[in-house]
Structure 1
Amino acid sequence: MNLYIIDAFTNEPFKGNPAAVCLLEERKGDQWMQNVAMEMNLSETAFLYPLKDGYELRWFTPVKEVDLCGHATLASAHYLWETGIEPKGKELRFLTKSGWLSAKMDEDWIELNFPLEKVEPCKVPEPLEDALGVELLFVGSNRMDVLVEVESERQIRELQPNFTKLATIKARGILVTSRAEEEPFDFVSRCFFPAVGVNEDPVTGSAHCALAPYWQSKLGKNHFLAKQLSVREGILKVQIQEGRVLLAGQAVTVVKGELR
């Protein structure tokens, strides 16, 4: 069966966030999928299985399955359209552990329809401030992650987290954000997931399901242009609409292979 590696939330090879995408010819067991994800050693490997009205979609890091992933969903849609398995004008539907998600083309961007994952203020986890090494302006959490606002974009760029300490926090990941310092961007972020085997994720679509409503409350707007400040960097168009988050990005295929 074919296995592609696609860089998501970028239009340049070797930027954005790479995801492996595998279209299954028959259902596979959880351990088999976990083994493939471990072999790929990317932040996410996506497995698609055809259904009558869409695709079942599951996401695995090298060490465990996760409930929501943006960049591997975007990569999956790109794969289905680029290979001609699905016509480019068709809206795609994915059944996932976070319910039905969809993807559609908007010129040369792919728009994902994702759940809104609002954070609420929470008690600061004991090792958090020490692990990040910066003053925290806000700390909140949702069902998956802890979100932290810090003073400046410069602080985010210079972060050198203690991943051993971050991994002890009971959350999928730590999302660190601030206002953007350069136009046309509204906010920036870096995202750390050592608890699920990914110290830093290059570009994290699902994190923006929390970042969007957080910055909506601070900036008083529903449309955002966001940048994730990893070494590879990535750009996302983000919109809140009818209680959902629309995430738009681009993608480029860098590897076409065969899983034997």
Structure 2
Amino acid sequence: MQTEFFDKNKRATVYNSIYIYKIISLVVLAILTIILAVMFFRDQAVVDGIIASPTPPIFYVMLITLILFAFSVIFDFYILHRTASIGRHLNRLAYIDKLTGLPNRYSCDLIFESFSSPEILPNAGFLLLKINNLSSINKDNGHTNGNFLISEFSSILEDVSQDYGHIGRNGGNEFIMIMENCDDVKADMFLMDLTKRIHGYNEMNIGDPLEVAYSRCLNRDEHKEKIAELISLGYKRLKEIPQILS
């Protein structure tokens, strides 16, 4: 994936350049207005003489031009404000999963790329999680209940992960957790906190119970040279030897 496509700074530069141009235009208009006002009061007698005589058509043209210019600047500011608002909304859609509000697959790819540096990769920790009973819930109770459970689990995962690392929804029933400076203690603490929250949720009987399977790969133990290799190992372990939070 080309990260340039998701570069917020480049889009912000374009908007800022247009804003600066419009601000300069507005400042120029204000300066011209001030100059005309000063000339009017300074040369009152000359102005009175001009007023007493028929007004040249060029003055009307200049007045209409100034009014249109001022209206154009104000209207452009309104358009830019609306455009920036739409841009922020589209940017959110590009990065955020609609159902859960978590970073989506594109965001996960960017997170993975940020862990490719030789300073971070050696101590990276990767966990892959899934709702183990989601298929049966979708089949027996319908996808509405399944989506509700996905949303509830995502909220729990988001709350628990704040002190540990980066999370995202990397697919339909694939949730990732990736951490810097991760050792067994840090991974165990995260899983313990997550387990407590899941138990609390299940005890409230809000909906279908949560059963979560996971795999974990710590690069302190695996010594992978690429983050993609660590991620692939996590997927392999979840498929072949999944562990259940209990």
Report the TM-score, using the length of structure 2 for normalisation.
0.27
Of structures 1 and 2, the larger Rg is shown by: 2
Task: Name the structure with the higher strand share.
Answer: 1
Q: Which has the bigger relative contact order, CA under 8 A and spacing at least 6?
A: 1
Report the TM-score, using the length of structure 1 for normalisation.
0.26
